[in-house]
Amino acid sequence: MAAPERLQALPDIDAALWRELSRAVRDRHHAWRFATLATVSAQADGVHPEARTVVLRDCDRAARTLLVYTDARSAKAQQAERRPQGVLVVWSPALGWQLRLHVALVLHTSGLQVSSRWAQLNLTPAAQDYMAPLPPGTPQAAPGAPPPDRDSRSHFAVLECQVQSTDWLELHRDGHRRARFDAEGARWLVP
Ligand SMILES: Cc1cc2nc3c(=O)[nH]c(=O)nc-3n(C[C@H](O)[C@H](O)[C@H](O)COP(=O)(O)O)c2cc1C
């Protein structure tokens, strides 16, 4: 199979990367479905970086937002509320593209957006992930997830990631390329 033609114009690359993000939230096998989300934790002894894997659940190109589901009591949710800046990193070997998305974080714990998504999720076994009796990361005597008790309620939250700037890196045998897309426009960078 012939290699796909490389896109040359920055607007075409911007459109293509959002197309791929839209695919990733629908396609379980897309490498971009799993992103690394970095946040900042402010402790008494200073500021610490944190990072973990999350699933990209929804994508709105017009609004330039991505959605992640999480437990409202998780460390990442707390960090997002205290320091609402993060970075999402994805890499696709098939595309040869890495994205580093600088995002503003907004945690939603109520409202139609949350209730309608919870109504869907609540019909699936994954609902248990958001019903642990104690917050994620609480020390416990035995391994595994404690069963939700009768009084367990959902701690489901939607973490909205508003993309403010995108650093796109393409690894290619004919030469690597890098570009930044943000409020000031699009420009090429030295890879
Ligand atoms: C493949 C994979 C996908 C994950 N997806 C999510 C997710 O969408 N949301 C989430 O809150 N945690 C997800 N996790 C768990 C987080 O990586 C992390 O371990 C957990 O949420 C606690 O993180 P925190 O203490 O930084 O909040 C995922 C883990 C893996 C390995």
Q: How many domains does the chain have?
A: 1
Q: Is 78 helix (H, G, I), strand (E, B) or coil?
A: helix
Is pLDDT at 159 greater than 70 in this prediction?
Answer: yes
Name which residue sits closest to atom 18 of ligand 1, judged by CA.
52
Residue 19 domain boundaries: 10-130+154-189
Highest average pLDDT, of 36-40, 119-123, 140-144, comes from 36-40
Whether 54 is in the pocket of ligand 1, judged by its Cβ within 6 Å, is: yes
Looking at the domain assignment, is residue 50 inside a domain?
Answer: yes
Mind listing the pLDDT tens digit for each residue in 88-141?
999 999 999 999 999 999 999 999 999 999 999 999 999 999 999 999 999 999
Q: Can you give the pLDDT at residue 146?
A: 83
Closest atom of ligand 1 relative to the 57 alpha carbon: 8
**Å from CA of 54 to ligand 1 middle:** 5
- CATH number reported for the structural domain that contains residue 103 in this entry: 2.30.110.10
Helix (H) or strand (E) holding 120: helix 112-121
Mind listing the pLDDT tens digit for each residue in 53-67?
999 999 999 999 999
Looking at the domain assignment, is residue 111 inside a domain?
Answer: yes
Contacts of 29 (CB under 8 A, 6+ apart): none
* Span between the terminal Cα atoms of the chain, in Å: 28
| Joined tokens for residue 163 | 């993309």
pLDDT tier for residue 151 given thresholds of 50, 70 and 90 = low
Of 36, 41, 53, 154, which is best to mutate to test ligand 1, by the most ligand atoms within 8 angstroms of its C-beta? 53
Q: Can you give the pLDDT at residue 147?
A: 81
**Å from CA of 38 to ligand 1 middle:** 11
Mind listing the pLDDT tens digit for each residue in 2-12?
556 799 999 99
Looking at the domain assignment, is residue 137 inside a domain?
Answer: no
